[in-house]
Chain A
């Protein structure tokens, strides 16, 4: 009983000690996966970078039956593997340093003929960040741009969420095994993207999310995209790693400007200082890619005409930042009961939102 090519690729990609760089090295020296599978420990040790431990692990994990079983299980779960031998393997990715030997996949890879765009940012974001991530993702998606992100909490999730409301596909690059939905709360996103878009990971089934893997996956995010938008980032943030990698790979960097002094704006403002393009509307990004705008931004024109004078007073007190009702009360100088019913009316009109009880923000939808 022999292993077929795909099973061999699966075997090589799932070896825990063999990362992207070592796998490529092995392949360069021994040429085929089959040769690696059959090579003795001495032969393996001749390959640069391969340590005794690595060689031992390769030799030890050669149980054909187990490999076949695992591969079959992965296929049954609806996942597959795309290696550098496949045509499907993204050309863009091959240009980056230490490109992955193979990608595990659920759904599809981004269409290389279309523009792909990454939106990243902080996990503990503000509601301003949340609104921005959703708005940009939706508008870009509506013009056919594919949104790539990391499915983490915060900005990443909101970017996917915004893209879900748009037309184009959206893709997530995970830092854990392909079959693990981390964080669990995003299961809805996970299943959505399995069908419309794709889940991509360098790590095979069952690999738990370890801290060092998450910065690693950032190179894939930046590698797959044509441009990247940082929405909110602290001074030292994972999103900045992604931006830096993207810069090395020659991608366009965009940043949503925040207020000076907010800890969550420091990262993105620093990027702007260093030359990233500050964006004011999704159009700034769309024009950069020379796309004829098919869908005019559906952003609701906040026509003051449809508001009564009092409603306007209350609306003027509300910004994109969360504001508690008692502050609105004080600023509007209206009666408590009036303000409360005006807020309710504005909310019913969809002009403002309450993401957190009694904290109001303007809604840009």
Chain B
């Protein structure tokens, strides 16, 4: 006789529904598990057999075959234990098969029969919902996380006995619920008003967030670069449900969701240490895991001490920065992870950190240049804004009046983003930071007077074509923040001050 139940296998950030089939027939007593399984999945055999027995159900000494179908998808992880056990219980007549038709079972089994939580529950439940299943049984600790998906009943299960009783004696198990997304309030966190002074940096960050431009902050140690970077998510518009679901899926797979935080309500802020290897930054590994760029999806990837990062590692950011996703290819197929992050980098101007204050910095011109040259040129090409941080003066530190709060800045940004979204409704892009050279010509046209200014700037500052386009893009964002349809002179001159880090940054030809 043939019995089956459902589970799901993770692929990238999505899950594929897997049918677990069990057959018991006469023959040599044996328990075989097939269906392209990784070693930890194969071990389910012993866990299931013993946990079913320890729950008080005898397994007949017959030939038992379990198939995880479709058999051409590679299955990894221990989430299949529960579904196998349930199908087996159906096969030995403990659970009626008809109960298993519209339900998914996700969880790992312990030898004493209890159900334990696994990573990646959210995408699996989401796959179940898309298959129009009605119930999803998960470990109790995963219940809150799974409950983010609406329109499917989530039941948190403690052990195998409970599920058998639920199906046979009608034992009540409450469905897990969380407040709906709209009702949830964003937790209060660090605010821009806590940073005194640094008006120019704050303004630059506002512009960067508004147009989703990547930004570089240069300044001496202790100028507040990290402090400000940490507060960037607080001025980004709130997450929508779709964004939150996407980010939560990534965190679910990475095992970063727990009872406390059942889904991601705030934009992520990731700040990997500069010793990070490329697989942790981009993602990958033997058992494919999303990297820091994916964990920063929808939020901020902060690279502190940019020159200290390994150049090869940093250069890997080029593709995700352009395509806003990461594709990891393996022999079994390729996996796509979203990576729509904003990159914020910070660095010192020289080794000691005080250049150009010659009273404190005694680095020679070559040393300064050498330090700057450590930063990958192709990465710099993808940074639109750069801003210098100065040390905070005592006057600024003790200033009484409170600085602008994040909420005020966020409102301005939301307004300007709306303008951008309307403007690019017909395009594939959404923000000014994503404009291509051709689109810059179309959307950032200048009037005669402004054109003359740019001509002058181009000559005196020896800009490159790329640098010129970056200034226009940033000026477009500043104009949007201002609510102006045309890019005007003040917008341009402000954009010029934030112009990117280019050849002449600290005066490449020292003596000219």
Question: Would you call B363 and A124 a contact (CB within 8 A)?
Answer: yes
Residue of A157, A263, A358 with most partner-chain B CB within 10 A: A358
Number of interface residues of A (CB under 8 A): 39
Q: Assuming A124-B358, A322-B356, A327-B390, is B365 touching A153 (CB within 8 A)? A: yes
A340 near B506 (CB under 8 angstroms)? no
B359 neighbours in A (Cβ, 8 Å)? 262-264
Across the two chains, which residue of chain B brings its CB closest to A325?
Answer: B497
Contact between chains at A186 and B511 (CB < 8 Å): yes
Cα–Cα, bound, A336→B460 (Å): 22
Q: Across the interface, do A358 and B497 meet the contact criterion of CB distance under 8 Å?
A: yes
Decide if B496 touches A340 in the complex (CB within 8 Å): yes
Asked if A343 contacts B203 (CB within 8 A), the reply is no
**Complex interface: chain B residues within 8 A of A244 (CB):** none
Instruction: Closest B residue to A189 by CB, please name it.
Output: B511
Q: Give the Cβ gap from A128 to chain B, nearest Cβ, in Å.
A: 9
* A291 contacts partner chain B, Cβ-Cβ < 8 Å: no
Hey, which chain A residues are within 8 Å of B388, CB to CB? 324, 326, 357-359
Q: Contacts A124-B364, A348-B460 known; A324 to B390 CB distance under 8 Å?
A: yes
Cβ contact within 8 Å between B200 and A264: no
- B494 in contact (CB, < 8 A): yes
Once the chains are docked, how many angstroms separate the CA of A124 from the CA of B366? 10
Contact mask B242-255 → A, CB, 8 Å, 1/0? Answer: 00000000000000
Known: A154-B365, A329-B200, A344-B496. A264 touches B510 (CB 8 A): no
Contact in complex: A126, B507 (CB < 8 Å):
no
Which chain B positions have C-beta within 8 A of A292? Answer: none
How close is B500's CB to chain A, nearest CB, in angstroms? 9
- Find the A residue at minimum CB distance from B504: A357
Whether B493 is near chain A, meaning CB under 8 Å from some CB there, is yes
A308 within 8 A of B: no
Cα distance A153–B491 when bound, in Å?
A: 38
Contact between B356 and A340, CB atoms less than 8 A apart: no
A185 to B501, CA, bound (A): 21
Determine the residue in chain A with the shortest Cβ distance to B489.
Answer: A341
Q: Separation in Å of the A329 CB from the closest CB of chain B?
A: 7
Q: Smallest distance from the beta carbon of B180 to chain A beta carbons, Å?
A: 42
- Determine how close the nearest CB of chain A comes to the CB of B143; give it in whole angstroms: 51
CA distance A359 to B388 in the complex (A): 10
B363, B497, B504 pick with most chain A CB within 10 angstroms: B497
| Cβ distance B424 to chain A, nearest Cβ, rounded Å | 25
Complex Cα distance, B510 from A72, in Å, reads 35
Chain A residue, CB-CB nearest to B493 = A341
Tell me, yes or no, whether B457 is within 8 Å of chain A by CB. Answer: yes
Name the residue of chain B whose CB is nearest to the CB of A261. Answer: B359
Contact call B512/A341, Cβ cutoff below 8 A: no
A336: contacting residue among B203, B363, B461, CB under 8 A? B203
Q: How far is the CA of A359 from the CA of B497 in the complex (A)?
A: 10
Contact partners of A123 in chain B: CB under 8 A = 364-365
The answer to the question of B310 belonging to the interface, with a C-beta cut-off of 8 Å to chain A, is no
Q: How far is the CB of B210 from chain A (nearest CB, A)?
A: 15
Cβ of B71 within 8 Å of any chain A Cβ, yes or no, is: no
Rounded to whole angstroms, the CA-CA distance of A158 and B510 in the bound complex is: 9
Q: B495's closest neighbor in chain A, by CB?
A: A340
* B442 located at the interface, meaning its Cβ lies under 8 Å from any Cβ of chain A in the complex: no
For the complex, what is the distance from the CA of A324 to the CA of B364, rounded to whole Å? 20
Please tell me if the beta carbons of A347 and B363 are within 8 angstroms of each other in the complex: no
B193 touches A (CB below 8 Å): no
Instruction: Flag if B200 contacts A344 (CB, 8 Å).
Output: no
Are A153's CB and B364's CB within 8 A?
Answer: yes
Q: Which of B358, B364, B460, B499 sits near A264, CB closer than 8 Å?
A: B358
Say how far B340's CB is from chain A's closest CB, in angstroms: 29
For residues 303 through 343 of chain A, which have their beta carbon under 8 Å from a beta carbon of chain B?
A: 322, 324-327, 329, 336-338, 340-341, 343
The smallest C-beta distance from B466 to any residue of chain A, in angstroms, reads 16
> How long is the Cα–Cα vector from A347 to B491 in the complex, in angstroms?
17
Q: Check A125 for interface membership: any CB of B closer than 8 A.
A: yes
The yes or no answer to B447 lying at the interface (CB within 8 A) is: no
The yes or no answer to B509 lying at the interface (CB within 8 A) is yes
Asked if A105 CB lies within 8 Å of chain B CBs, one says no
Q: In angstroms, how far is the closest chain B Cβ from the Cβ of A159? A: 9
If A340-B496, A344-B457, A357-B388 touch, does A125 touch B358 (CB 8 Å cutoff)? yes
Question: Which residues of the other chain, B, contact A356 by a CB distance below 8 angstroms?
Answer: 356, 505-507
**Contacts A161-B512, A341-B493, A343-B493 given: A336-B199 contact, CB under 8 Å?**
yes
A340-B493, A341-B490 are known contacts. Are A329 and B511 too (CB-CB below 8 A)? Answer: no
Q: Does A69 contact B (CB under 8 A)?
A: no
* Nearest residue, chain B, Cβ from A125: B358
In Å, the complex CA distance between A327 and B511 comes to 26
Nearest-Cβ distance from residue B219 to partner chain A, whole angstroms: 10
Q: Is the CB of A326 within 8 A of B390?
A: yes
The answer to whether A359 and B356 touch across the interface, beta carbons within 8 angstroms, is yes
Query: Would you call A301 an interface residue if the criterion is a C-beta within 8 Å of the partner chain's C-beta atoms?
Result: no
- CB-defined contacts of A154 to chain B, threshold 8 Å: 365
- Check if A63 is an interface residue, CB within 8 A of chain B: no
**With an 8 A cutoff between CB atoms, is B362 at the interface?**
yes
Type the 1/0 row for B189-227, where 1 means its CB is closer than 8 Å to any CB of A.
000000000111001000000000000000000000000
- Known A329-B200, A336-B203, A348-B456; contact A124-B362, beta-carbon cutoff 8 A: yes
Residue of B nearest to A133 (CB): B511
A344 touches B511 (CB 8 A): no
A161 adjacent to B511 (CB under 8 Å): yes
Q: Are B510 and A157 in contact (CB under 8 A)?
A: yes
Residues of the A chain whose Cβ atoms lie less than 8 Å from the Cβ of B510: 153, 157, 185
For chain B residues 459-489, which have a beta carbon within 8 Å of chain A?
460-461, 489
Q: Which residues of A have CB within 8 Å of B499? A: 357
In the complex the two chains form, what is the Cα distance from A202 to B453 in whole Å?
Answer: 51
Question: In the complex, are the beta carbons of B494 and A336 less than 8 A apart?
Answer: yes
State whether the Cβ of A355 lies closer than 8 Å to any Cβ in chain B. yes
How far apart sit A326 and B391, CA to CA, in the bound complex (Å)?
A: 11
- What is the CB-to-nearest-CB distance from B14 to chain A, in angstroms, rounded to a whole number? 45
A126-B356, A336-B199, A357-B501 known; 7 other A-B pairs, CB under 8 Å? A123-B365, A125-B358, A153-B364, A186-B511, A325-B497, A341-B489, A344-B457
Q: Mind listing 12 A-B residue pairs with CB under 8 Å? A: A124-B362, A157-B510, A157-B511, A158-B511, A264-B358, A322-B356, A326-B200, A329-B199, A337-B491, A337-B494, A340-B494, A357-B386
The 10 tightest CB contacts between A and B, nearest first, are A341-B493, A157-B511, A337-B490, A344-B493, A126-B358, A340-B493, A326-B200, A161-B511, A340-B494, A340-B497
Residues of B that sit less than 8 Å from A by CB: 198-200, 203, 356, 358-359, 361-366, 386, 388, 390, 453, 456-457, 460-461, 489-491, 493-494, 496-497, 499, 501, 504-507, 509-512
